[in-house]
Amino acid sequence: MSDRERTLELIDTQSGGDVSRIVTSGVEPLPGATVLDKARYLQREGDGLRRLLLSEPYGDPAMSVDLIVEPSHPEAQAGYIIMEAMGYPLYSGSNTICTATALLQSGVIPMREGLQQVVLESPAGLAHITAQVTDGRVRLVTTQGEPAYVADEGLRVEVPHYGEVRFDLVWSGAYYAMIDAARHGFRVTSTEQIALTAFGDAFVRAARPELRQDHPELGDVGPLPFAHFMGPVTRMGPGRYTSPSATYVHPGVLCRSPTGTGTSARLALMARRGQIREGDSLETVSPRGSRFVGTVLATTRVGDYPALHSTITGSARLMAHSRVTVDLDDPLVEATDLEHVLSPRRGDVTAMVRP
């Protein structure tokens, strides 16, 4: 291998159709006392890694990337930094489901039959995970991560070509603008995906300048990244509900899954309105037909905000184990903020993971 070439080892996974690329080797240890510190260093000094793996010819903006790093919290077995088209979300349900499944099924974290508890450290804090393992395969993953809270209600913005859009702002690992889909003529179906993406793009561009970018505990979390389209809620039985849902990721991506953090945000908003209570569940269904189940747990507080703990249940599938060669002299590779974070030697992911 040339001294201008570097190697990244990846496990490609998908949850609900959303692809997460788990980077297990090829990145130098990042400075920082916590996973949040490491994520902010990467965002500030090494964003070339995100752009490389989410852009042609190496990837696609609709994917996500999860970099395995050493955890700082004594309870965590591994840390992970989430990268998407919009930047660096501090928590993500689908990415957590994918990362846990990849680490277990690849043997990085030893897998056991039955219900297995795993703790991962995201930039937002700990994700407590229960994996259901049957016949040597992770069948379901339930994750409890960042508590969600309603930050602002009854907001309005004038969107060019669409008119006035009313929305609520909810934090669930990132800020979500929660939009009533029916108010704008959407049923959140597969035939509306292009129209939902166009609407989401115009909305986020119009809404961003006036919205908060701070979190009471995490500080500056950046401009609005997500819009979540809420369809009507149908009662399926005692304490069980379902709703068509779609999440737009800026710029230009409509998620294939209904998204875990989008579902958590929906639960927080429903609880605020008295529409759902502890122990109840909501199954969100994306325009592609994939499903997550969110379950309401106990209330808590985040700063001055009443907040809600919840779990998200879904499944992931492993699609590929690959070794990517990065030629630093390739004109399609922006090496300026990439070269120093790539390791010239092959690493071992098990060195970063606690048993």
pLDDT at residue 345 in the model? 79
Give per-residue pLDDT as tens, 267-295: 999 999 999 999 999 999 999 999 999 99
CATH number of the domain within which 68 lies: 3.10.310.10
> DSSP strand E in the chain: where?
5-15, 18-25, 64-69, 78-83, 114-122, 125-134, 137-144, 148-159, 163-171, 175-180, 214-215, 219-220, 226-230, 234-237, 240-249, 253-254, 281-285, 291-302, 305-314, 317-327
Looking at the structure, tell me whether residues 60 and 161 fall in a common domain: no
Q: Please state, in angstroms and rounded to a whole number, the distance separating the CA atoms of residues 153 and 170.
A: 9
pLDDT at 355 over 80: no
Token look-up 């690959």 returns 322
Q: Is the pLDDT of residue 348 over 90?
A: no
What pLDDT band is residue 179 in, cutting at 50, 70 and 90? very high
Query: Do 97 and 158 fall within a single domain?
Result: no
Q: What is the mean pLDDT of residues 128-150?
A: 96
What's the pLDDT band for 2 if we cut at 50, 70, 90? confident
Per-residue pLDDT band for 1 (boundaries 50, 70, 90) equals low
The pLDDT tens digits for 325-335 are 999 999 999 99
- 288 & 187 share domain: yes
Is pLDDT at 346 greater than 80 in this prediction?
no
- Yes or no: say if 29 and 70 are a contact pair by the CB < 8 Å rule: yes
pLDDT tens column, 292-329: 999 999 999 999 999 999 999 999 999 999 999 999 99
- Cβ neighbours of residue 209 under 8 Å, at least 6 residues apart? none
**pLDDT for position 353:** 82
How does the average pLDDT of the chain come out, rounded? 95
Same domain for 186 and 208, yes or no, is yes
Average pLDDT over residues 23-41: 97
Answer yes or no: are the C-beta atoms of 64 and 21 closer than 8 Å. Answer: yes
In sequence order, the 6+-apart residues with CB closer than 8 A to the CB of 311 are 142, 143, 144, 294, 295, 297
User: Computed over its alpha carbons, how large is the radius of gyration of the chain?
Assistant: 20
| 117 and 177 inside one domain | no
Q: pTM of the full predicted structure?
A: 0.94
pLDDT digit string, tens, across residues 217-257: 999 999 999 999 999 999 999 999 999 999 999 999 999 99
Number of residues that make up the chain? 355
Q: Are residues 167 and 261 in the same domain?
A: yes
Same-domain status, 185 and 226: yes
Residues 296, 277: contact at Cβ < 8 Å?
yes
**270 lies in the same domain as 300:** yes
Return d(Cα 87, Cα 61) in angstroms, integer: 11
Task: Pick the closest to residue 326 from 5, 94, 1 (CA basis).
Answer: 5
Say what angle helices 93-105 and 260-272 make with each other, to 10 degrees: 140
Cis-peptide into 57, omega within 30 deg: yes
Could you tell me the residue range of the domain that residue 103 belongs to?
5-145+317-352
pLDDT tens figures, 197-227: 999 999 999 999 989 899 999 999 999 999 9
Q: Show the tokens assigned to 92.
A: 């993500």
**What Å distances lie between residue 156 and 59, 153, 169, 260, CA to CA?**
36, 9, 11, 25
**pLDDT, tens digit (0-9, with 9 covering 90-100), for 70-113:** 999 999 999 999 999 999 999 999 999 999 999 999 999 999 99
Same domain, 271 and 233: yes
Cα 77 to its chain centre, rounded Å, is 19
Q: Which two tokens stand for residue 251?
A: 């710029």
Could you give the 3-state DSSP secondary structure of residue 101?
helix
Mark residue 72 as left, alpha or beta (left: phi above 0; alpha: psi -120 to 50; beta: remaining): alpha
Q: Cα–Cα distance between 68 and 52 in angstroms, integer?
A: 17
The rounded distance, in Å, linking the Cα atoms of 65 and 61 is: 10
> Does one domain contain both 309 and 162?
yes
Alpha-carbon distance 26 to 349, whole Å?
A: 9
Burial class for 156, CB neighbours closer than 10 Å (0-12, 13-18, 19+): exposed
Residue 164 and residue 293 in one domain: yes
Residue 114 has pLDDT above 90, yes or no: yes
Our count of domains for the chain comes to 2
Residues 269 and 300 in one domain: yes
Is 310 marked active-site?
Answer: no
Q: Which residues contact residue 79 at a Cβ distance below 8 angstroms, ignoring those fewer than 6 apart? A: 35, 38, 68, 69, 70, 71, 72, 120, 121, 122, 352
Which one of the listed residues 92, 243, 281, 315 is annotated catalytic? 92
Q: Is the pLDDT at 7 greater than 70, yes or no? A: yes
Q: Which two tokens stand for residue 125?
A: 């804090």
Confidence at residue 136, expressed as pLDDT on a 0 to 100 scale: 94
Written as one string, the DSSP assignment of 295-339 is EEEEEEEETTEEEEEEEEEE--EEEEEEEEEEETT-TTS--TTTG
